[in-house]
Every structure is written in structure tokens, then in C-alpha cells.
């Protein structure tokens, strides 16, 4: 047994301080592991974003079923065509784009009627 400065008996293992080398190595390994996991997550996130940006998912206009494709074609034809609904009453079906332009130019029929009545 060893003696300390005041003459007390001290166990020799208590005289040696604990080495920080083992703790520093553990901290370094844990830090490297966290950095590696974060790097993998960033690479995965970038890959997913690029995959979506390239349009490899179904687009809104992509219809997987023939019945839906036929229905969509019919709707597009109907919405984009001029046709008389009641020729004698002067009611016609107008393509959506043209109807929107007319609405912006002249307003709604009820608004026009109210404007005429106020004149």
C-alpha cells in the first residue's frame, strides 16, 4: 500500500486517474455513427425528391382504366364543343374557356339584367 502526503494508507488503484482515451473513442464512434445515419437520410431524401420531380408517379391526366379514359374523352369533347341546347330560346352550350372569357367581359346574366333594369 502506498502512503499519501499526510501519511494515510491509500490503495494504489486509487492513485491512478481514469484514462479519457476510452471515453473519447466512444464519443468519436457515436458521433461518426450519427453523421453516417444523417448522410444516408439526406441521400435518401434527395433521391425521393428527384424521383417525384422526374414525374415517375402517375400524372393527373394518366388514367389507368379504359372506361375512365373514355369518360374523360367524352367530357373533354362536351366541355370543348359548341352546341345548341335550345335554338329557339337562344340557349347554347359554349366551350368552358370561351364561357369564362365572356363572363369576364360581360358579367353574369343576372348582373346584366339588373344593370339593364337600373338604366
∠ CA 63-68-73, nearest 5°, is 95
Note the pTM of the prediction, 2 decimals: 0.33
Predicted local distance difference test score (pLDDT) of residue 107: 81
Above 90 in pLDDT, residue 114? no
Q: Is the same domain home to 111 and 73?
A: yes
List, for residues 66-108, the tens digit of each pLDDT value.
Answer: 888 888 888 888 888 888 889 999 888 888 888 888 888 888 7
Of the residues 31, 57, 83, the one at which a domain ends: 57
Above 60 in pLDDT, residue 16? no
Residue 11 lies in a domain: no
Residue 93 or residue 119, greater confidence: 93
Q: Is the same domain home to 49 and 73?
A: no
10 confidence band (pLDDT: 50, 70, 90): low
* Owning domain of residue 90: 66-118
* Biggest distance spanned by C-alpha atoms of the chain: 123
Q: Is the same domain home to 29 and 70?
A: no
List, for residues 19-72, the tens digit of each pLDDT value.
Answer: 656 778 888 999 999 999 999 999 999 998 888 877 655 555 565 678 888 888
Predicted local distance difference test score (pLDDT) of residue 22: 72
**What b-and-e string marks burial along 80-106, b requiring 16 or more CB atoms within 10 Å of the CB?**
eeeeeeeeeeeeeeeeeeeeeeeeeee
Amino acid at each position: 500500500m502506498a502512503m499519501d502526503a499526510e501519511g494515510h494508507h491509500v490503495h494504489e488503484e486509487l492513485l491512478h486517474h481514469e484514462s479519457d482515451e476510452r471515453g473519447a473513442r466512444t464519443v468519436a464512434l457515436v458521433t461518426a455513427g450519427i453523421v453516417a445515419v444523417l448522410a444516408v437520410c439526406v441521400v435518401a431524401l434527395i433521391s425521393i425528391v428527384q424521383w417525384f420531380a422526374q414525374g415517375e408517379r402517375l400524372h393527373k391526366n394518366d388514367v389507368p382504366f379504359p372506361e375512365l379514359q373514355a369518360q374523360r374523352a367524352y367530357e373533354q369533347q362536351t366541355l370543348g364543343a359548341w352546341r345548341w341546347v335550345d335554338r329557339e330560346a337562344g340557349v347554347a352550350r359554349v366551350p368552358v374557356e370561351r364561357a369564362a372569357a365572356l363572363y369576364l367581359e360581360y358579367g353574369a346574366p343576372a348582373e346584366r339584367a339588373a344593370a339593364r333594369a337600373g338604366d
